[in-house]
Amino acid sequence: MMRRHGWPRHNMNLAATLRIALLALRTNKMRSALTMLGIIIGVAAVIVMIAVGNGAQARVEEQIKSLGSNIIIVLSGSITSGGARGGSGSQPTIYEEDATAMMREIDDIQAAAPTLRASGQVIAGNANWSTTFYGITPEYLEVREWPIAEGRSFETTEMNGSGKVVLIGQTVAENLFGTASPLDQVIRVKKVPLTVIGVLQRKGQSMSGQDQDDTLLMPINTARTRVIGVTQAKSRSVSSIMVKVKDGADMTQAEARLKELLRQRHRLQPGQDDDFYLRNLSEILQAQEASSKVMALLLAAVASVSLLVGGIGIMNIMLVSVTERTREIGLRMAVGARGRDILMQFLVEAVTLSVIGGFIGIMLGISTALLIAKLAGWPTALSITAVILAAGFAAIIGIFFGYYPARKASRLLPIDALRYE
């Protein structure tokens, strides 16, 4: 194979084509770098945006898991006084017996946990902390899917006999005891001494941003008779009932049956307003999960526009390159290069720009995603699929946007190209 000016005469192989393409790119380093910049930014943006979107989605899934799955919350209704209607819970209308009836009469319900809620100061030695405490039944930990990290749960005798025992969340444990073990320590809640028998596993923040670990749990009878001190009229009323529906059951149907049962038990007439509220957490969480998926797709779509802009930049630069190298193309054709050799050379140049830019973009995207997670505290989840797709998309863009300039170069007539000035 004869060569002149470093070009193969004919039947160029891929290695020779790649060598010529790299030589041309090195000749115009600044132009090549600026051309790759669009691809670099595009690929990096796609990876970062998908990582941020996936991170947000993972956070929603974590919140779903922390709340427990298939949850319906029953709250007391409101009361109207002097023409003004109070908010939810202003009138005690739900009772422990309602929870018992739910588990007995509705097959789709796995567990129902009545709770009493209050807040106040907790004292341990010289330390004190203001927190929310709940009076619970054994079903509460099952409904919330909340294991105990250290210690034990309540015994039957403690639940039935208003035992002076308590479970505390991680935040309460850290603020009252620091690094020391809180087990068997005595704390005071509204001057009532309670022994810590267990520490709950960390749950993190809820959807509303509330710290779920800033809590304290005690037997419901202990809360009622020793701590909260409710009146006789409210002796069996509760703040809320958390209902866990069995896996696979229809949440909408279970909600409807709950409503029907409570209206019957509360002797509400047709047309009379409910004296309770139902909140289907699964519907709320599913809506939030769906919105986070849409947001992730939207972010990826916006980032993909950067890749398209980078591809247009490649086409623009390659067209300029064809114009500037018209005489070179004519000379190569004059010494035996065929149209497809010229087509392949310019196509390889375009793809090389895209691949190198894509590789740098991948490194930049991964680094940026990790940096966002570390410095901004925003959850990110890197996806291998996103990296592969971004790299593949970059190569496809190089071929797609590089084809027209390459084809234009390959169709030049040697005599016209040699005359070009």
Residue-by-residue pLDDT tens, the chain, 421 positions = 444 444 444 445 667 767 777 777 777 788 788 878 888 888 888 888 888 878 877 777 666 666 666 888 898 876 555 544 555 545 678 888 999 999 999 998 999 999 999 898 999 989 999 999 999 998 899 888 889 999 999 998 998 888 999 999 999 999 999 989 999 999 999 889 999 999 999 988 776 668 889 999 999 989 988 888 765 445 678 889 999 988 888 888 888 999 999 999 988 888 888 888 888 876 666 666 677 677 777 777 777 777 777 778 778 777 777 777 777 777 777 777 777 777 777 788 788 888 888 889 899 989 988 888 888 777 788 878 778 877 787 788 878 877 777 777 777 776 665 665 5
Q: Structural domain boundaries of the chain?
A: 3-63+288-419, 109-246
pLDDT of residue 123: 92
- Largest separation between any pair of C-alpha atoms in the chain: 107
Over the chain, what HEC string results? CCEECCEECCCCCHHHHHHHHHHHHHHCHHHHHHHHHHHHHHHHHHHHHHHHHHHHHHHHHHHHHHHCCCEEEEEECCCEECCEECCCCCCCCCEHHHHHHHHHHCCCEEEEEEEEEEEEEEEECCEEEEEEEEEECCHHHHHHCCCEEEECCCCHHHHHCCCCEEEECHHHHHHHHCCCCCCCCEEEECCEEEEEEEEECCCCECCCCCECCCEEEEEHHHHHHHHHCCCHHHCCECCEEEEEECCCCCHHHHHHHHHHHHHHHCCCCCCCCCCEEEEEHHHHHHHHHHHHHHHHHHHHHHHHHHHHHHHHHHHHHHHHHHHHCHHHHHHHHHCCCCHHHHHHHHHHHHHHHHHHHHHHHHHHHHHHHHHHHHHHCCCCCCCHHHHHHHHHHHHHHHHHHHHHHHHHHHCCCHHHHHHCC
Alpha-carbon gap, residue 294 to 57, rounded angstroms: 10
- Conformational region of residue 209, where left means phi above 0, alpha means psi within -120 to 50, and beta covers everything else: left
Tell me which residue of 348, 321, 351, 346 sits closest to 410, measured CA to CA. 346
pTM of the model: 0.60
Yes or no: say if 246 and 110 are a contact pair by the CB < 8 Å rule.
Answer: yes
CA 272, chain centre distance (Å): 41
Work out the number of other CB atoms within 10 angstroms of the CB of residue 240.
22
pLDDT of residue 218: 95
Any long-range contacts for 247-251 (C-beta under 8 Å, 24+ apart)? 247/69, 247/70, 249/70, 249/108, 250/108, 251/70, 251/72, 251/280, 251/282, 251/283
Yes or no: say if 94 and 76 are a contact pair by the CB < 8 Å rule.
Answer: yes
pLDDT of residue 64: 63
pLDDT of residue 84: 47
